[in-house]
Amino acid sequence: MLFGKKKRRIVKLLVVEDEPLVAFDTEHFLTDAGYTIVATVDRVADASSVIRLGTALDLVLVDVSLADGSGIDVARAAREAGVPVLFVTGNCPVEAIDFAAGCLPKPYAQRDLLGALDVLDAHLSGRRVRKMPSGLRLFAAAQATS
């Protein structure tokens, strides 16, 4: 297709967020944008279970501060499974660079999250990244999972 949309590499997402309104909003606007939300969970144990069961995932969106632990534990499980991670958090921890493809600071506009997903998709597919959304940081781990 000459003017068609490029096929996305990132389609199936696991959302790990313990703020119910943020989780609900994220799930709905990403679904409206054409992404498939495989699951939305609020606990490290539930997210790790979804990942370890071998559920088909293209990306894990995870907050760092969760009610039952750290999103870094989720990122470790995802990394072991070969699934890239985007942290969406108010405070991106230093060790995130070892486990995540990137970090988007909260609060973020919906367009910035969509832009971050587009940038990660391009980066993981080896395409040139055109415009970085406000605050997005990419890490070397983004290349290790591709």
List the domains of the chain with CATH numbers. 12-144 (3.40.50.2300)
Q: What is the pLDDT of residue 6?
A: 65
Q: Reply yes or no on whether the pLDDT at 145 is more than 80.
A: no
Distance (Å, whole) CA 129 – CA 122: 6
Q: What is the pLDDT of residue 28?
A: 96
Q: Is the peptide bond before 133 cis (omega within 30 degrees of 0)?
A: no
pLDDT, tens digit (0-9, with 9 covering 90-100), for 4-32: 556 889 999 999 999 999 999 999 999 99
Amino acid at position 116, single letter: A
Structural contact between residues 52 and 77, judged by C-beta atoms closer than 8 angstroms: yes
DSSP H helix total and E strand total for the chain: 5, 8
SS3 label, residue 12: strand
* Beta-carbon-side half-sphere exposure of residue 76 (alpha carbons within 13 Å): 8
Q: Which residue has the higher pLDDT, 135 or 37?
A: 37
